Amino acid sequence: MPNLLTTFASPQRWPEFEQDKVICIGASTGGIEALSKVLADFPAHTPPVVIVQHTKSDRVSRLAHMLDGVTEMTVKVAGDLEPLRVGHAYLAPDNSCHLELARRTPLRLRLVDRPPISRHRPSVDALFRSAVPHGRHTVGVILTGMGCDGALGMLEMYQSGATTFAQDEETSLVYGMPGTALRVGGVTRQVPLQKIAGETLKACLPSKLRRRAEP
């Protein structure tokens, strides 16, 4: 039987995903290029994607516009209490607040005004920790970046039943964030950049199809 990661190699050919999945991605130094690669491989029916990318506030709108041009998804700046929609990716808006998942379903986004976490606002740790109540319904991805923001939050996601991926050292511009997440034990699998989209999408498949996608 063919491996699904080969069968559905192009964005258009992936089957339907589990309806209640949410993908949370954190990145910093080198993350814009990494995000471009990952989002380019996501099909239009990808589950909602929530992104914290460390960047200057005045660059967020331009970043959303740029990423929107490389993917079949719709990429936009997140709004407070905005409902999550399939085929949409949401960027943390600026450094005045954290971007988090609300606890209740149907899922919405929250913009939370509180001090920096792990020296950052918005913080990847804040996003990942907000995903913990949703457990196995979430997938966490930590991409290239300096420092350790997101490492402990990813550990909590992993312990709650989420599937978590970290970009490997070879393809990371800076291995700080993914390397720390791996060292603290919060990573299901370390993956090269070119395979992160496929592994993330596989984790969003119904269990029967997911088993077929195993090597």
List, by residue number, the catalytic residues: 28, 54, 149
Residue 99 has, within 13 A of its CA and on its CB side, a CA count of 25
Alpha helices (H) along 54-170: 60-68, 124-131, 151-159
Q: Are 13 and 190 in contact (CB under 8 A)?
A: no
Q: What is the DSSP string of 35-52?
A: HHHHHHT--TTPPPEEEE
CA atoms of 201 and 44, how far apart (whole Å)? 12
Q: Which helix (H) or strand (E) holds 53?
A: strand 49-53
| Residue 189 structure tokens | 């699998």
Q: Are 177 and 148 in contact (CB under 8 A)?
A: yes
β-strand 163-167 against 189-191: which pairing, if any? parallel
